[in-house]
Structure 1
Amino acid sequence: METFEDFLDTIEKAEHREKFKNVIEQLLADYPELTLEIKWNQPMLLLKENGTFILGFSKAKPHFAIAPEKYTRDYFEKEIEKAGYQTTTMFMKIKWTDEVNFDLIHKMIDKNIADKKDSTKFWREK
């Protein structure tokens, strides 16, 4: 998988593809300092300045998932629960029928950018 369009093609339902595409496009519009890349067959938002990981995404039939790294997911655990999203050790799951809580996602992105702006590593060093 090489492009975002390749990833979108793996999402079965057209309305799910459109929702996911809109989420990514909105985040890129909100954060021009981020770039979208496909790594390990998953879309990832990286900080343009140093290439460090900010958020990753995956999908399944009932949801798409956001992976902000375990540290950040744990940091926002109470807010994720309050938003009504399921979690795993590494992911926050957003059902295709759920509203997308952009305020929460923005907080995760802001935290990762602040923490990793001077990073020389792809993954968090903590």
Structure 2
Amino acid sequence: MEVFAKYLARIDNPEHRARTEEVLAWVTKKFPNLAPKLAWNQPMFTDHDTFIIGFSVSKRHLAVAPERAGMQHFSDEIVQSGYDHTNELVRIPWGSPVDFSLLEKFIEFNILDKADCPTFWRK
């Protein structure tokens, strides 16, 4: 988590900072083989130098980015979660609970789907 310390320190709202830290710590604990990384000023996790999942903070939500393939694969679950989303990310409002089972599905899917991926992003 030290990799994310400066990023977390820049989040002004203490509740937003705590929620973001909780999610990042959960990923670190649940998936210890993933490498935490700060790139493009965003916390993310990689596996064999390929992107698995990324996060970003805005005034109204924590955004989760599992790449478009993850979004498409779990489109029904995303709709059922009630979270607002785009083709590239899911927005978790600060006042809503985090659906950790959905995060786990995103991460497990990307680890398996990108096991032989030689690039950071899918081609």
Which runs of 5 or more residues in structure 2 are unaligned? none
TM-score by length of 1: 0.91
Q: Deviations over 1:50-75 (max 9, x none)?
A: 11100011110010100000111121
Match of 1:30 in 2: 30
Q: Which letter maps to 1:8? A: L
Compute the RMSD of aligned alpha carbons: 1.0
Q: Which letter maps to 1:54? A: I
Q: Deviations over 1:1-52 (max 9, x none)?
A: xx412211232210110111011101110001101100011011111xx111
Distance 2:104 2:25 in 1: 13
Runs of 4+ in 1 over 2 A off after TM superposition: none
Match of 2:117 in 1: 119
Which runs of 5 or more residues in structure 1 are unaligned? none
Matched residue SS, 2:53: strand
- Count, aligned residues: 121
Match of 1:10 in 2: 10
TM-score by length of 2: 0.93
Give the % identical residues: 39
